[in-house]
Amino acid sequence: MARKYLLGNEAIAHACVESGVDFISGYPGTPSSEVIDVLRVQPDRSYYVEWSVNEKVALENALAAAWCGIRSLCTMKHVGLNVAADPLMTSAYTGITGGLVIMSADDPFAHSSQNEQDTRCYAHFARVPCLDPAGIQEAHDMIPEAFDLSEEFGLPVIFRPTTRICHSKGDVELGESVVSIRKGEFHKDPRQYVVIPAHTRVLHKKLNEKQSAIRKRLVERGFNHFKIRGKIAIIASGIGATYVQELLPEGVSFMKIGAYPIDEEWLGDFVKKHEKVLVIEELAPEVEEVVHQIAGCVPVFGKKNGYAPYEGELSPQAVAVIMEKAGFLPKKPFPQVNPIQNLPPRPPILCAGCLHRGAFYAIKKVFKDAIYPSDIGCYTLGLQLGVVDTTICMGASITVASGISHAGDPHDIVCTIGDSTFLHTGIQGLINAVYNGANITVVILDNRITAMTGHQPNPNTGVTACGVESPPVSLDALCRSCGVSFVESVDPYDITGMVNILQEAKKRKGVKVIIAKQMCVISARRAGVKRGRYRVHPEICTGCGTCVRFGCPAIEFEDEKARINELCSGCAVCAELCPVGAIVREGKK
Amino acid sequence: MSGSFDILIVGIGGQGTILASNILGEACLIEGRHIKGAETHGMAQRGGSVESHIRIDGLFGPLIPPGQADLLISFDLLEALRYSHYLKKGGKMVVNRHLVLPTSVYTQNLVAPTEDEIIAALKKHELCLLDADKMAEEAGSPLSQNVVMLGAASQSMPLKPESLLAAVKNLVPKKTIEINVKAFETGREFGGTC
């Protein structure tokens, strides 16, 4: 036993090892990525771990491992579960023999996501148990329980932490690591694993029959509990429950929901002992819906009558406002404060020396009035450069481009997609675009890594999650085999070269693919690549601002002249852009 | 209420706020105290403004409500101003005298307050202003700037300097221990004069 100061995801990863996990798969996505990032670098691992190409692939792999009787973990972010929804829904029918825990991390407030969907709704939809921790210690302690529950009921269990669990820190009491010794063994059972109609109808009935026992067990295991302290009550879940506890006044009863499905009878007994109840939870009204069903004439305060928001994340101050409005808090706990207005914002931006900036610059130069569908990754930040017109979900750049092309829009269409995203769900869109004769230019921004989520390797990198060498896929050969005849690779630091190839693509009909290939500047720095910095020659600089508009954080503008700061990584793109040749390598005259 | 000592560390993604938070966490473990914190990861972190919440003796959530922080440590002048409403009445600020203008100022022609204007606004609070970049350089490496800042702020924290120093030694890369110890001590000495 040890007490450590850990990130939520580090504590979750440790708990998986304490549970004797045997098989781990997943696809990176904020806020879930660090769980596998921690597990994949442990020395003396006894478990198998992989980064899969997408969440559907990851879950099907983990499901198969759990069918072989071993403990499996599959990690992803909430929107990843959309991709894995197909195997999820039917895995509840087939069940499992070894424990299967699916960690799907939600991101209320969309800190780093395209939406604020609630994983608890998926658990409800699939009729599988869902554990919803309220803090790091609980997240840690729930993991072994999740494996036990999964094995007890023969069902996958969803574990749903949120950003404020995954990326918060705290002192955590850890247990002992357990060495995985199980070997998987598949026992044929077509009635369980071949979901033809005759089998699946039976399996569906069995799944439904498990529900009542699951509800009871979740209360028995103490995930859902309460304390009666007065005539009014607050029912809360997730991190919201922690904020309520920080503020809970004397004489207000408190119920904490940490697991679903909720036992309605047990919940009803609690609610009926009170004169009014307030429900506090992030995102969907999962708890509130159930409370409404059983409340009878007890008034329920929450999202449905406008006391709590459906969107965004909760915070101590947000919870205080809800409690006060609903009459559950006698006085304001926090002073009213106002942030200083009109400060220039500092949003995230592409790094100094990022390959994407050069690629975007060239695209904009050649295709001035084009439509620019894009995708999910660092390069979504190209929005600030005016070269991202659409982003919806992983892989939806090529598909949106071909859809716009077939819709009849007369503009050129140039879409951008990263290498990891292309391998995730981009390939199908490319095959479809070629097959159906779309007129589009596809630029694959190839930095050979999944950068945004923390530099996880992918099949394009040449190493596995554990650092074992693996033959990198050839994006060029892949695109050609999809039927693309114009496939060109170019270094996006070479603006002239990139412009030339884009012009060539512009002249042609059909699907053209340009692979803009250069190392991620962060990976390059870590690998010890040193290019030397650049500086502006103040006597040559005319202050025209061309380099400043390029938007690199290494370029500043002071006293009517450009200046390059210490962030410069030496990509030299600005030196190529400067119309008067004022930007030179440091040390050169 | 929480009963915790709440510290907000702010800066720009990449300046080392996470190591600073880890050092505080380690120091709390050394003293056998509870701690809660929250940080910025993922997309939000790329060169953007970042915040680390740290609640010493924290038993509940990781987030500090605005107007409640006991101490604000800022690695950048503009970020200190942006988050100054988090400080409670009578709270203290330890700020690096260093201003990185956001790229939006150049690309969108936005107006940023000058260094002097920012400092004048910050002086509404109890302010310890230091040139951490220079002090870090003198300690042996500009990368030790975050440890200089912690050293200066250590004068206003309910943690023993020995615990903080031990935490620094445990967490920084082995070959930089000497530099970081010097950085901490230089910062702490300066913090004592604020």
To the nearest whole angstrom, how far is the Cα of A104 from the nearest Cα of chain B?
16
pLDDT of residue A181: 85
To the nearest whole angstrom, how far is the Cα of B43 from the nearest Cα of chain A?
5
Q: How far apart are CA B93 and CA B73, in angstroms?
A: 6
User: Check: CATH 3.20.20.70 for A355-526?
Assistant: no
Domains and CATH numbers, chain B: 5-193 (3.40.920.10)
Classify domain A534-585 by CATH architecture.
2-Layer Sandwich (3.30)
pLDDT in tens, A555-586: 999 889 999 998 999 999 999 999 999 999 98
- As given in the structure block, the two tokens for residue A504 are 């060539």
Residue A119: count other Cβ atoms within 10 Å of its Cβ.
Answer: 28
pLDDT of residue A331: 87
Quote the mean pLDDT of chain B: 94
Q: How far apart are CA A60 and CA A66, in angstroms?
A: 10
- In chain A, residues 218-247 whose CB comes closer than 8 Å to chain B: 239, 242-243, 245-247
pLDDT of residue B137: 96
Classify domain A2-220 by CATH architecture.
3-Layer(aba) Sandwich (3.40)
Distance of CA B109 to the CA centre of its chain: 29
Listed residue (B110, B70, B144, B26) closest to A170, CA to CA: B26
Q: 2.70.70.10, 3.90.180.10, 3.40.50.920, 3.30.530.20: which CATH number matches A225-325? A: 3.40.50.920
* Contact assignment for A5 to B22 by CB distance below 8 Å: yes
Q: Does A520 touch chain B (CB under 8 A)?
A: no
pLDDT of residue A481: 98
pLDDT in tens, B89-116: 999 999 999 999 998 888 888 999 999 9
pLDDT of residue A335: 87
pLDDT of residue A268: 98
Q: Does B79 touch chain A (CB under 8 A)?
A: yes
Name the residue of chain B whose CA is nearest to A550's CA.
B107
Q: Which residues pair with A440 in a beta bridge?
A: A511
- As given in the structure block, the two tokens for residue A207 are 């799944």
Check pLDDT > 80 for residue B48: yes
pLDDT confidence bin for B1, thresholds 50/70/90? low
Name the residue of chain B whose CA is nearest to A30's CA.
B42
Query: Peptide bond before A129: cis, by omega within 30 degrees of 0?
Result: no
pLDDT confidence bin for B14, thresholds 50/70/90? confident
Start and end residues for every CATH 3.40.50.970 domain found in chain A: 2-220, 355-526
Q: Looking at residue B78, what DSSP letter applies?
A: H
C-alpha triplet A163, A169, A174: angle, nearest 5°:
115
Handedness of CA B44, A24, B37, A311 (dihedral sign): positive
Measured between beta carbons, the chain A residues lying within 8 angstroms of B89 are: 335
Q: Kindly list the distances between the CA atom of residue B122 and the CA atoms of A216, A305, B68, in Å, as whole numbers in the listed order.
A: 56, 42, 17
Helical packing angle, A427-435 and A398-407, nearest 10°:
20
Residue A420: count other Cβ atoms within 10 Å of its Cβ.
Answer: 32
Q: How far apart are CA A63 and CA A254, in angstroms?
A: 37
Measured between beta carbons, the chain B residues lying within 8 angstroms of A451 are: none
Longest dimension (CA), chain A: 83
* SS3 per-residue string spanning B121-135: HHCCCEEEEECHHHH
Listed residue (B47, B18, B75, B42) closest to A351, CA to CA: B47
Average pLDDT over residues B73-88: 97
pLDDT of residue B40: 80
* Contact assignment for A164 to B39 by CB distance below 8 Å: no
ipTM over 0.85 threshold: yes
C-alpha triplet B141, B145, B147: angle, nearest 5°:
105
Check pLDDT > 80 for residue B136: yes
- In chain B, residues 103-142 whose CB comes closer than 8 Å to chain A: 103-107, 110-113, 121
* SS3 per-residue string spanning A215-244: HHHHHHCCCCEEECCCCEEEEEEHHHHHHH
Residue A365: count other Cβ atoms within 10 Å of its Cβ.
Answer: 14
- In chain B, residues 11-40 whose CB comes closer than 8 Å to chain A: 12-13, 21-22, 25-26, 28-29, 33-40
Q: Does A1 touch chain B (CB under 8 A)?
A: no
Please list the ranges in chain A whose pLDDT falls under 50.
none
CB A424 within 8 A of CB A27: yes
Measured between beta carbons, the chain A residues lying within 8 angstroms of B2 are: 246
pLDDT of residue A558: 86
Check pLDDT > 70 for residue B2: no
